[in-house]
Amino acid sequence: MVLAKENPRKLKINQPVDYEDMLLFEKLILNAWIVNHIEPYKIKSFNGPTSYRLKHQFEYSKDGFYITNGQMKGALLAAGFRPKDENDLNWTFALSKKLQDVDFAKLPGW
């Protein structure tokens, strides 16, 4: 029985190191979006949106563009956010209630 090999690119797109492959102006736009839209929450409640949902919220924002889940993870790490469990595929963070209440169904393309 031959097992299919995993596509290395597919594995990388979920890793924070994928953030390093972004162009400088892309990093600046993503970092500015994080600073303007994501607030840490003092209580360590990790029930908010995952890194995967945040990537989509960024993509559908005014100045957004396609990014990978790994790029969002890396950007959040660079901004000082720490995930509940780095072993999860889609990370959760302690984020403000304001962001948790976003209705993703009303975003374009959902």
State pLDDT tens for residues 71-91: 999 999 999 988 989 999 999
Instruction: Kindly list the distances between the CA atom of residue 62 and the CA atoms of 5, 22, 29, 57, 81, in Å, as whole numbers in the listed order.
Output: 38, 19, 11, 10, 23
d(C-alpha 9, C-alpha 16), whole Å: 13
pLDDT of residue 26: 97
At residue 8, the pLDDT reads 59
Indicate the pTM of the whole model.
Answer: 0.79
Q: What is the pLDDT of residue 62?
A: 85
**Torsion sign across C-alpha atoms 39, 20, 103, 93:** negative
* 55, burial (CB in 10 Å: exposed 0-12, middle 13-18, buried 19+): buried
In tens digits, what is the pLDDT along the chain, a chain of 110 residues?
A: 444 455 655 667 899 999 999 999 999 999 999 988 887 766 565 667 889 999 998 998 888 999 999 999 999 999 998 898 999 999 988 876 555 455 555 555 44
Rounded distance between C-alpha atoms, residue 13 and residue 6, angstroms: 12
pLDDT at site 37: 82
